[in-house]
Amino acid sequence: MSASRKLAVVCCLSLLLLLSGGAFQLKGTGNGTEAPAGFSTPTLSEDPGSKSVSNGLPMLPGETFGDDQATFEEEDGIDEGLGPVYNSRSCTDCHQNPVTGGGSQITELRIGHFDSKGKFVNPTITINGGLNTIPNRSLINDRSVCPEASERVPLTEYVRAFRMSLNVLGDGFVEAIDDNTLISIAAQQPGQSGGVIKGEYITVPVLEASGTTRVGRFGWKDQHGSLLSFSADAYLNEQGITSRLLPTDTTTVCKDPNIGDPEDHTDEIGMADIDHFASFIRGTMVPPVDATLMATPDAVAGQALFTTIGCATCHVTSITTAPTGTVINGGTFTVPDALGNKIIHPYSDFLLHDIGTGDGVVQNGPSDTGFKMRTAPLWGLRTHDRLMHDGFSGSREEAILRHGNEAKNARKAYLGLSNTQRSQLLTFLNAL
């Protein structure tokens, strides 16, 4: 077959893939319908959430998607339990670009050290001039409600790592992925890569269902498997606000003694803030592609190259969620029709991999996960100006070239492309 005919075949196949949702269908997931896509949660100063459109998630009596978003955007002060140590005053401080729920340029700082056996150790942080400590904590909060509670990095903690704030748009569909689907992806990867790629899944506690676990999928270390658990963790660690799931403050230095725990109370319809947070995230649409750019010949060719050189082994292009009615999260959530049996294109396997950029920090996983990070979902990539988990890569090509270890063959294949092919692959990425 001539080179020109080969290119024509590749382009035709890629166009078919694009029209069918942008990727191959993961075996064993059945037939589904495309998840709705759109940046449909604009951030408003007046009447927040009033112009937003959900994916059709059913609401409780008295609840609206707009109200959920307004709670997600609400700024808390010390009279609402903010602090004593915190990073932000609202969820949108970290999740807002280009609309409420998107990613951002905000980072958090993780620290620690290794013991004599090379095992990661969460440090003890001294505050208040040495009078108080925060034990077993790798997170350093950037803000506090008083000078006495301010945290500083101890000189003994030489592990220093930044983490970019993550996009949460479409994460309701991610939560609705069956555990066995992620386990199956992990099982297939060694065979697809000659044994080089071995994604790791971990099981983590479901906070709202005591004693139960689920395959982790949220956070850079897959430290959570449910959106309610994720919301409670963020409320405590990013805003310093306790809830029924995590009712103990990080520290009580400068805490108002008149504010009891948990600080997150239920409203008139029986929902606490963390419930509204989780409901908002579950109701968001998946990030859309730039349809005009994606339909260009360069993007179509670049999409084919993305799979050909091995990127799609980890950045899985198509996954179908669990069927409607599936009970997940330890029996606390039933997948509704709005989230069930939906085809999504996250460009991630939501597994942990060692690609040579890990920071050593361990969260909710075994010690071998220290230098592994969750595969970054690439949906919405065109809205990001700082890439990789630490935000240290400023361009798509720079991020690709940082891939090593499990991703070494994909990087080598990228370097073997012609200049035209590289441009085509980057055009595809810029359309995501």
Q: Who contacts 105 (Cβ-Cβ below 8 Å, separation ≥6)?
A: 97, 164, 165, 385, 386, 391
CA angle 212, 214, 218 (to 5 degrees): 130
Which DSSP string do the residues of 101-144 spell out, in sequence order? TSB-S-EEEEEEEE-TTS-EE---EEEGGGTEEE-S--EE-SEE
Cβ contact 389:164 at 8 Å? yes
Q: How does the average pLDDT of the chain come out, rounded?
A: 93
Give pLDDT tens digits for 256-312. Answer: 999 999 999 999 999 999 999 999 999 999 999 999 999 999 999 999 999 999 999
Give the three-state DSSP class for 159: strand
Checking if the pLDDT of 15 tops 90, the result is: no
CA–CA gap between residue 26 and residue 264 (Å, rounded): 40
Q: Tell how far CA 203 is from the center of its chain.
A: 16
User: Per-residue pLDDT tens for 375-426?
Assistant: 999 999 999 999 999 999 999 999 999 999 999 999 999 999 999 999 999 9
Kindly state the average pLDDT of the residues 221-230: 98
Whole-angstrom distance, CA of residue 27 vs CA of residue 269? 42
Class of residue 164 by CB neighbours under 10 A (exposed 0-12, middle 13-18, buried 19+): buried
Digit-coded pLDDT (tens) for 339-359: 999 999 999 999 999 999 999
The structural domain count of the chain equals 1
**pTM of the model as a whole:** 0.93
CA 117 to chain centroid: 31
Q: Is there a contact between 86 and 144 (Cβ–Cβ < 8 Å)?
A: yes
Residue 7 has pLDDT above 70, yes or no: no
Does residue 8 surpass a pLDDT of 60?
no
Query: Which residue in 143, 57, 59, 62 sits closest to 321, CA to CA?
Result: 57
Burial class (CB in 10 A: 0-12, 13-18, 19+), 292: exposed
**pLDDT classification of 30: cutoffs 50, 70, 90:** low
pLDDT of 205 strictly over 50: yes
Q: 82 burial class (0-12, 13-18, 19+ CB within 10 angstroms)? A: buried
Q: Which residue is listed with tokens 């602090």?
A: 83
Where in the sequence is the domain holding 403, given as residue range(s)?
3-431
- Got the DSSP string for 247-306? -S-S--TT--TTS-S------TTS--HHHHHHHHHHHPPBPPP-HHHHTSHHHHHHHHHH
